[in-house]
A and B are shown apart, each in its own frame.
Chain A
Amino acid sequence: GEDVEQSLFLSVREGDSSVINCTYTDSSSTYLYWYKQEPGAGLQLLTYIFSNMDMKQDQRLTVLLNKKDKHLSLRIADTQTGDSAIYFCAESETGNQFYFGTGTSLTVIP
């Protein structure tokens, strides 16, 4: 399978920006995704980016894709306590099967 790597933990102060990083090995990825998982809840799709794009902005979320370095990042502006969760990046080449990273636990300090 494909490798998708993330740092394990991130801690930020409320109101600051958070940047969560991800690296992947599959150069044929078609779409890349960011998911959020809160305790006791399923995975929630936050945003996605098509592989021929460099950047996508969606309200407080900004996704940056560096295809050459196989690096994906998610920036959350004005981070709130409700943003505390585990964030997963994922990629898919052909659809139907998705490879997820190990997850980054974001803690927002009030």
Chain B
Amino acid sequence: DAGVTQSPTHLIKTRGQQVTLRCSPKSGHDTVSWYQQALGQGPQFIFQYYEEEERQRGNFPDRFSGHQFPNYSSELNVNALLLGDSALYLCASSLESDRFWTDTQYFGPGTRLTVL
């Protein structure tokens, strides 16, 4: 089992562009959460998807949107990129039955986004 995989590993974009990041959850996991980790900071919750719906959202603007597919994989889209969007974007997968992440949660290695 490959665990949580994310693509691409690195990405460079310019201001105003749009970007799509992808996440494949660990086999059997049905819930995907996205986090933004700026350099030198802890991860900040963007949103969580379950049953192809955005279930909970952190304090991020509408420029950040996502999608979950029937196979539980997920995409994070960011429109109108700003310099401040440069960060490591982490995907975490888990089981709905373990919403406090005490047993089943796994993080992917992240996608490093640089906005120039």
Binding site for B on A (CB under 8 A): 1, 4, 30-31, 33, 40-45, 48, 88, 90, 92, 95-103
Contact = CB atoms under 8 A, between A and B. Distances in A.
Given A42-B106, A42-B110, A97-B56, A4 B100 contact: no
Contacts of A42: 4, 90, 92, 106-110
**Chain B contact surface mostly:** loop
A8 to B, nearest CB: 8
B42 A100 contact: yes
A88 B40 CA distance: 11
B99 A100 contact: no
A4 B42 contact: yes
B58 A95 contact: no
The 9 A-B residue pairs with the shortest CB-CB distance in the complex, in nearest-first order: A95-B99, A42-B107, A100-B42, A43-B107, A95-B100, A100-B43, A42-B109, A96-B56, A31-B100
A43 B90 contact: yes
A46 B110 CA distance: 19
A45 B105 contact: yes
Q: Which of B33, B56, B102, B106 has the most CB of A within 10 A?
A: B102
A102 B39 CA distance: 10
